[in-house]
């Protein structure tokens, strides 16, 4: 069985975790996710990714604990490198990534969501950092980009889950919807993004990733440099013409 599925619908790539019953992550599955997102980077006909999971029990239950129990402390740095590569591949995917979270996202599962650009959650979704309960720590660097320090530390120190609505309240999740509306909502959003210029999306995502931790003035200066670079593209000129001529743009990806 292909545990990480990749499907294309027009300019949208759909990546689906399919490792029942709870989509827990082994090292092999981490590597498969990394390879999938690296493959998407090479697809010049993809403008956006929807990242989701199958089943009803969990979006992702985090690390597969039986495999973890068999690992030694000496092996941990090499294992950690594999894990970091996965979150890096998602966060630095050249096009935007929408996480459609269908159920509980625990530990590394929650980081999969936080590494994405946008999060849409089913009302049945929850988010947690239970590492404290299994003798680990982690997830704070990614989750802390999105939530207040108090919320981060509550999750890290208690290991308790927060609901989709609480995640929305603290800014971790952009939308909360009924379970039956999760994929339609994610796909509707993806269609809007897919209609944009790919070169514009790629340039904007790279700029946003780079300026995120910068002081405002320095970040805006760098962002302007990216904007100037984008002006040299045919798509940028087409976008302006389309607005002036009150028509839909026809982008060529250059």
Q: Say if 254 falls within a structural domain.
A: no
Q: Do 122 and 175 have their domain in common?
A: yes
In this structure, the number of other CB atoms found within 10 A of the CB of residue 26 comes to: 15
From 140, 130, 131, select the one nearest 161 (Cα to Cα): 130
From 89, 92, 124, 78, select the one nearest 105 (Cα to Cα): 124
State the pLDDT at residue 65. 74
State the pLDDT at residue 212. 94
Give the number of C-alpha atoms closer than 13 A to the C-alpha of residue 234, restricted to the C-beta side. 5
State the pLDDT at residue 215. 94
Q: Domain boundary at 178, 194, 210, which?
A: 194
**What range does the domain containing 97 cover?**
4-194
In 165-240, beta strands by DSSP E: 175-177
Cα 40 to Cα 23, 34, 85, 107, distances in angstroms: 21, 10, 15, 25
Residue 13 φ/ψ, nearest 5 degrees:
-100, 135
pTM metric for this prediction: 0.94
State the pLDDT at residue 74. 79
Axis crossing angle, helix 27-41 with helix 76-91, rounded to the nearest 10: 30
Q: Do 117 and 45 have their domain in common?
A: yes
State the pLDDT at residue 1. 52
Q: Say if 251 falls within a structural domain.
A: no
Measured at the CA of 168, the angle between CA 95 and CA 154, to 5 degrees, comes to 110
In this structure, the number of other CB atoms found within 10 A of the CB of residue 70 comes to: 8
Q: Say if 253 falls within a structural domain.
A: no
Give per-10-residue mean pLDDT for the chain (254 aa).
Answer: 90 95 93 97 96 92 79 80 96 98 96 98 96 85 95 95 97 97 98 94 95 94 92 84 84 81
State the pLDDT at residue 144. 94
Q: Do 127 and 89 have their domain in common?
A: yes
């Amino acid at each position: 069985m292909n545990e990480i599925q990749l499907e294309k619908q027009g300019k949208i790539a759909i990546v689906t975790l399919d490792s029942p019953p709870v989509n827990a992550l082994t090292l092999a599955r981490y590597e498969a996710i990394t390879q999938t997102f690296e493959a998407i980077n090479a697809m010049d006909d993809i403008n956006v990714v929807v990242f989701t999971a199958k089943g009803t029990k969990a979006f992702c239950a985090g690390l597969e604990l039986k495999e973890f129990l068999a690992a030694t402390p000496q092996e941990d740095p090499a294992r950690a490198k594999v894990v970091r590569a996965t979150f890096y591949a998602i966060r630095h995917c050249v096009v935007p990534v929408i996480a459609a979270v269908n159920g509980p996202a625990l530990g590394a599962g929650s980081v999969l969501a936080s590494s994405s650009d946008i999060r849409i959650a089913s009302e049945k979704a929850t988010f947690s950092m239970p590492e404290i309960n299994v003798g680990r720590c982690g997830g704070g660097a990614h989750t802390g980009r999105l939530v207040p320090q108090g919320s981060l530390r509550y999750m890290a120190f208690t290991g308790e889950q927060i609901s989709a609505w609480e995640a929305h309240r603290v800014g971790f999740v952009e939308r909360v919807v009924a379970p039956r509306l999760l994929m339609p909502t994610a796909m509707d959003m993806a269609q809007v993004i897919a209609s944009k210029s790919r070169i514009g999306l790629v340039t904007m995502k790279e700029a946003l990733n780079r300026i995120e931790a910068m002081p405002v003035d320095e970040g805006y200066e760098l962002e302007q440099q990216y904007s100037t670079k984008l002006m040299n593209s045919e798509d940028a000129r087409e976008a302006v013409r389309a607005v002036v001529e009150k028509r839909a743009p026809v982008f060529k990806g250059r």
